Amino acid sequence: MKFDLLTLFPDMFSGAFSDSIIKHAVEKGLIEISSHNIRDFAFDKHRVTDDYPYGGGAGMVMKVEPLAACIESVKAERPLSKVVLLTPGGRPLKQSFVEELALEDGLIIICGRYEGVDERVRELFVDLEISIGDFVLTGGEPAAIVLVDAVSRLLPGVLGSRQSAEEDSFGNGLLEYPQYTRPPEFRGLTVPPVLLSGNHREIECWRRRESLRRTWLMRRELLDEADLTEEDKHYLRMLRDGGGTQN
């Protein structure tokens, strides 16, 4: 999958993809990440990329001409890629949306700055508008890093056999169960005995219940969409009635 990052600050990506899983995915040719400096497509004397908003108001707006030239230049190389605008007003990035995006051939990602981009960029070029959450960043670059990371880890071969995206939070519509590793006791806190029992059926049952319990405590609304068995529903009823303690 190809990611093209359109930015005024390409240096912000220099360390972001140069370690660990994403780095290996690039090296294995599973993903390709390129950044493009929008300023290189500003053809006036001072290479201006922003201007005052019509109608007045605070801040600056990213000009349409450099962005148009930048998008068209990248799109010519990547005709199948979708053009994404990162904006707080976009579709919220949820795991199910990330799964949809992972099926694309490539994403051309516009990182906004200042008050955002001239509306005509959206009208002329943008296929998808994405928000990474209900908060406002100073620029789209951190959001682009989040997007590339979340999508990349779902692509075949990116996670090794010891990692599984399905078992992570949201993979099955629930939050993940608690994880422990050695030592078995730390500052008086012990690992739940069932995890040391070697009984895989009981471990699986404990994990499912912990997953349900954590989701019920932290993100109750996720349970409305989750695929629940009769046993799950019975356990949730117990939680609601004040039962369902940890073993």
Ligand X SMILES: C[S@@+](CC[C@H](N)C(=O)[O-])C[C@H]1O[C@@H](n2cnc3c(N)ncnc32)[C@H](O)[C@@H]1O
Site string for ligand X, 134-163 (x = CB under 6 A): -xxxxxx--x--------------------
User: For residue 32, what are the β-bridge partners?
Assistant: 2
19 is catalytic: no
**What is the radius of gyration, based on Cα positions, of the chain?**
23
- List the catalytic residue out of 78, 88, 113, 141: 88
From the number of C-beta atoms within 10 Å of its C-beta (0-12, 13-18, 19+), residue 108 rates as buried
Could you count the other beta carbons within 10 Å of the beta carbon of residue 23?
A: 11
Q: Is 184 a catalytic residue?
A: no
The interface region with ligand X, picked from 50-58, 85-93, 227-235, 237-245 by CB under 6 A, is 85-93
Q: Which is nearer to ligand X, 61 or 212 (CB)?
A: 61
The site for ligand X, by CB under 6 A, has a size of: 19
Q: What is the footprint of ligand X within residues 185-244 (CB under 6 A)? A: none
Catalytic residue among 153, 207, 208, 214: 153
Angle (nearest 5°) at CA 16 between 13 and 19:
140
Residue 53 C-beta-side C-alpha neighbours within 13 Å: 13
Active site includes 168? yes
Residue 126 or 174: the one with the smaller Cβ distance to ligand X is 126
Q: Are 51 and 107 in contact (CB under 8 A)?
A: no
Task: Catalogue the active-site residues.
Answer: 88, 115, 153, 168
Binding site for ligand X (CB under 6 A): 86-89, 111-113, 115-116, 131-133, 135-140, 143
